[in-house]
Amino acid sequence: MEQKLFDLIYASVLAKEHTYDGIYYTCVRTTRIFCRPSCRARTPYPQNVRFVNSSEEAIELGYRPCKRCKPEEAGKLGPDEVMAAKVDHLIERDLSCPMTLNMLAGQLAVSPFHLQKVYKRVKGYSPADHLQAVRMKEAKSLLAQDRLTVAMIARAVGFRSPSHFTVWFKRDSGCSPRDYRELTGKGIGTNE
């Protein structure tokens, strides 16, 4: 597991948040117990933690389920909802990395066809639609902040070329990134 992802999940362990419940499980090497990330019973040191993708995997590795958070019992989410939540998490955690359906499927160890079908059934739209929507939301928010150049924003939302970014942005929102910045920064209708 890459450090960035580890840090993100570990932050939810520290905060005892439910964000990754059902998506990752916290295995604690020192106690050989595994928990939901949100478990209130223990806050393990990061060096003792290993995150796995399923309670079956934790049990296979020799960990016992925590009696307090009962990670072996199904949470609110069924397996399809968990997979869809994992896809969203992979898409949203780093927009600057180009992400394809094949890459998502590879990370979740399922076929691209299966992933697409399950995701669409749960969400009503495709992973690609979600990626586009998240990119656009982030691009608009960065443009409105007026701190980064358009080229920097293009990279931040996963475009290698600012001109591709501009074409995409214009097609989807009806105006260029610069016009959008102009409109949000100064307010429509004022020329000051």
Question: Footprint of Zn ion on this chain (CB under 5 A)?
Answer: 35, 39, 41, 66, 68-69
Q: Is the Cβ of residue 35 or residue 115 nearer to Zn ion in the bound state?
A: 35
Q: How far is the CB of 27 from Zn ion (least distance, A)?
A: 11
Structure token pair of residue 83? 């997979």
Q: How far is the CB of 39 from Zn ion (least distance, A)?
A: 3
Close Cβ partners of 89 (under 8 Å, ≥ 6 residues apart): 20, 23
Q: Is the Cβ of residue 68 or residue 178 nearer to Zn ion in the bound state?
A: 68
Q: How far is the CB of 8 from Zn ion (least distance, A)?
A: 19
27 touches 61 (CB < 8 A): yes
Q: How far is the CB of 11 from Zn ion (least distance, A)?
A: 17
Beta-bridge mates of residue 25 = 52
Q: Is the Cβ of residue 9 or residue 39 nearer to Zn ion in the bound state?
A: 39
Q: Is the Cβ of residue 66 or residue 157 nearer to Zn ion in the bound state?
A: 66
Question: Which residues are marked as active site?
Answer: 35, 39, 66, 69
